[in-house]
Amino acid sequence: MTSDAVRIGVAGLGRAFMLMLPTFRNDPRIKLVAAAAPRAASRAAFEAEFGGRTYATVEELAKDADVDLIYIATPHQMHAEHVDAAARGGKHILVDKPLAVSMGDADHMVAAAEAAGVHLIVGPSHSFDPPVSLARTLIESGEFGAVRMVQALNYTDFLYRPRRPEELRTEEGGGVLFSQGIHQIDIVRLLCGGRARSVTAQTGAWDPDRPTEGAYCALMDFQSGAFASLTYSGYAHFDSDCWMNDVGELGGPKSPEGYGQARKALRDLDPGAEAQLKSTRTYGAGREPLAPKHNEHFGPILVSCDRADLRLTPDGVEIFADTKRSFRKAPLDPAPRKPVIDAVVAAVCESISPAQTGRWGRASLEVCHAILQSAERRKTILLTRQCGTTPKEIHS
């Protein structure tokens, strides 16, 4: 790194990049200097806003000598190829979740980054949310004893947001497991010490017009002795944000008038028109995310420790201890995903890894596959690729 700010090149200027924009615009420790995108309109919008260099391919971006780190925000199934290119170019890497779709690709990516001596961070993911970090700090303080049980639940409209056809095919990374389950798995692993032992699960694919998993229930157990129940439904009926103080996933208010909008917007659209609708949510299409008043979240999460239950909220952690109920506030920054940038800066400038490394992302991906396998085979699946939460444990 040669300048003060970490110089970031972005691969993929779609929805994920849009969600990072408020953070990129508000954190002076980073500078967007280049981007790769196949669409000329996205490249032009990037040049107009950031004045940087743009390329049609990630391979060209990876050769840009003035880039310290590449943020890979391309579709899941391209992550392996793009991580490989970035590692070959000697760039540090922030790859959006999930690390990959197949475990083979995940192995390849971890090996490529380690061979090149570059940091590979998997994020953003909701495991970076400040209330999750606060809960982790409270747990590690030992004040409330060991974590015994976690309940994580989320009911959303995920399956009815506009999709490209492959996003509705499980084998290509479609469905709720790879895009949504991975957030919940990351959070639960972080709160339970990282090393899961087994998974027993059921999945649901109930809509023949969107023939991929839209729901699951999973029971995980951990080396620490803790166990966790994970439930997700993306079928756009109940909305568990009403149990999160009516705050949506991105920290904004949830209005009752929005109920049912996801399904209504898709009514009578063919797959081409649906993919077109998705592209209206992309960078340069004019729809910007609003500055949030609360932290992002991933649905209700309750952590039972020996001497307290901890309820994660969009604003912090509510503590139900033996004789006292109290609240600890989590920080809210104008750069909503500041913890992701903290991890980037620590990695690039001080060579300190966060928990969410490539090996960590591979371990969470293993849980996604275990949920699918457990449901299909009606068996408990033993896990073999897990790691702990600290850099030392991640590599042991």
Q: Is 83 in the site for ligand NAD (CB under 6 A)?
A: no
- Could you tell me the smallest distance in angstroms from the CB atom of residue 123 to ligand NAD? 7
Among 15, 29, 197, 328, binds ligand NAD (CB under 6 A): 15
Is 296 or 315 the residue whose CB approaches ligand NAD more closely? 296
Is 310 or 365 the residue whose CB approaches ligand NAD more closely? 365
Beta bridge partners of 32: 8
Tokens of 316: 């912090």
- Could you tell me the smallest distance in angstroms from the CB atom of residue 72 to ligand NAD? 8
Instruction: Report the residue number whose CB is nearest to ligand NAD.
Output: 14
Is 96 or 315 the residue whose CB approaches ligand NAD more closely? 96
Q: Is 39 in the site for ligand NAD (CB under 6 A)?
A: yes
Placement of tokens 């890497």 in the chain: 93
Tokens of 149: 């049980």
Among 7, 8, 9, 14, binds ligand NAD (CB under 6 A): 14
- Could you tell me the smallest distance in angstroms from the CB atom of residue 151 to ligand NAD? 22
Is 179 or 304 the residue whose CB approaches ligand NAD more closely? 179
Beta bridge partners of 10: 35, 71
Is 36 or 139 the residue whose CB approaches ligand NAD more closely? 36
Q: Is 169 in the site for ligand NAD (CB under 6 A)?
A: no
Q: Is 23 in the site for ligand NAD (CB under 6 A)?
A: no
Q: Is 335 in the site for ligand NAD (CB under 6 A)?
A: no
Q: Is 343 in the site for ligand NAD (CB under 6 A)?
A: no
Q: Is 132 in the site for ligand NAD (CB under 6 A)?
A: no
Is 193 or 336 the residue whose CB approaches ligand NAD more closely? 336
Among 30, 33, 36, 190, binds ligand NAD (CB under 6 A): 36
Is 125 or 304 the residue whose CB approaches ligand NAD more closely? 125
Cis upstream peptide for 354 (omega within 30°): no
Q: Is 341 in the site for ligand NAD (CB under 6 A)?
A: no
Q: Tell me, what amino acid is at 257?
A: E
Which residues lie closer than 8 Å to 185 by C-beta, 6 or more apart? Answer: 230, 364, 367, 368
* Pick from 265, 160, 251, 159: nearest CA to 203: 159
Cα dihedral 340, 136, 252, 26 in deg (nearest 10)? -30
Contact 10, 36 (CB under 8 A): yes
Rounded CA-CA distance 138/201 in Å is 29
Give the binding range for ligand NAD (CB under 6 A) out of 38-46, 138-146, 324-332, 385-393.
38-46
Q: Is 97 in the site for ligand NAD (CB under 6 A)?
A: yes
Cα dist. 194→30, 137, 141, 300 in Å?
29, 15, 17, 20
- Could you tell me the smallest distance in angstroms from the CB atom of residue 10 to ligand NAD? 9
Q: Is 252 in the site for ligand NAD (CB under 6 A)?
A: no
Q: Is 168 in the site for ligand NAD (CB under 6 A)?
A: no
Cα dist. 208→211, 213, 234, 252, 276 in Å?
5, 11, 14, 32, 21
Rounded CA-CA distance 314/131 in Å is 7
Among 3, 38, 349, 379, binds ligand NAD (CB under 6 A): 38
- Could you tell me the smallest distance in angstroms from the CB atom of residue 326 to ligand NAD? 30
- Binding mask 263-292 vs ligand NAD (x if CB under 6 A, - otherwise)? -------------------x----------
Rounded CA-CA distance 341/218 in Å is 31
Angle at 364 between CA 294 and CA 110, to 5 degrees: 110
For the sheet with 308-312, list strands across it: 325-329, 316-321, 308-312, 301-305, 147-155, 227-233, 215-222, 196-204, 381-382
Is 98 or 316 the residue whose CB approaches ligand NAD more closely? 98
Which residues lie closer than 8 Å to 208 by C-beta, 6 or more apart? Answer: none
Task: Provide the binding-site residues for ligand NAD, judged by CB under 6 A.
Answer: 11-16, 19, 36-39, 42, 58, 73-76, 78, 96-97, 124-125, 179, 282
